[in-house]
Amino acid sequence: MRHTCLLLWILAFWQVPFPAPAADASKDDDAYAPHTPTLIFYLSEMTDQRDADALQASLQKLKSVRKINLNLARGYAQVRFDSHVVSYHQVAQAIADAGTALGRKFDPRLKVQVPAYSATGNALRVDAVFAGKRLNQRVRIEPLDKAKGEFLVHFLPLQIDPSVAGPQGFNGGHLNHPIHDAPPRGLGLQFSYAAEDGAGFPASSGGLRPERRMP
């Protein structure tokens, strides 16, 4: 009996440390995660449900794609993915391949902005980045509105090497680092890829497809 009382007394004061519950970072799968951009790829010739279904199927094959939102009325695909797993170029190529299989040229392109492009001295420096030899082996930059510093990034065909793990071709940092990073590494200018559809941007005709999220 004496031993039993002693044991109960020890248990009453001996607190076993349990790990604290993990903080709920977010219940929203759109919460911040490193290297997971959401990008708007504007397209040509995506006009009907068959186009949208083919595009959806092609994008779903890419590793790390977390969200696909196809809008036929506005002619774009909004995609969220891990750019350290697949590159911007690989996503664009998956879109282009879906169009090719249908006999269409989707010509995926990204809208980028350098707001201070037209400020004194900036245009020449930014144009020098755009003129880079290696960059132009992967993409083509088209001026959209130089006064606002808006441009389109068109993707050249990418030959995927299945033996290479990780991103291939053009990726976000190939423009972001030389333009946005602080000197001397970069120009120290604000730079962004469009993640949302901008009002007034050219749109194509067609219907509307609701957003689909990847599991």
**Domain segments of the chain: what residues?**
38-213
pLDDT for the residue numbered 35: 86
Q: What is the mean predicted confidence (pLDDT) over 111-132?
A: 98
Confidence of residue 202 (pLDDT cuts 50, 70, 90): low
Amino acid at 58: S
Confidence of residue 34 (pLDDT cuts 50, 70, 90): confident
Cβ(80)–Cβ(38) below 8 Å: yes
Quick: pLDDT tens for 66-97. Answer: 999 999 999 999 999 999 999 999 999 999 99
Higher local confidence (pLDDT), 196 or 138: 138
Rounded CA separation 201/42 (Å): 10
pLDDT for the residue numbered 50: 96
Q: According to the per-residue pLDDT averaged within each range, which of 2-16, 21-35, 110-124 is highest?
A: 110-124
Tokens representing 189 are: 């200018």
Q: Write down the H helix ranges in 28-162.
A: 49-60, 88-101, 122-130
Q: What percent of the chain has pLDDT over 90?
A: 73
Cβ(151)–Cβ(190) below 8 Å: no
pTM of the model: 0.80
Confidence of residue 199 (pLDDT cuts 50, 70, 90): low
Amino acid at 79: V
Question: How is domain 38-213 classified at the CATH fold level?
Answer: Alpha-Beta Plaits (3.30.70)
Distance of CA 188 to the CA centre of its chain: 22
Evaluate if residue 111 carries a pLDDT over 70: yes
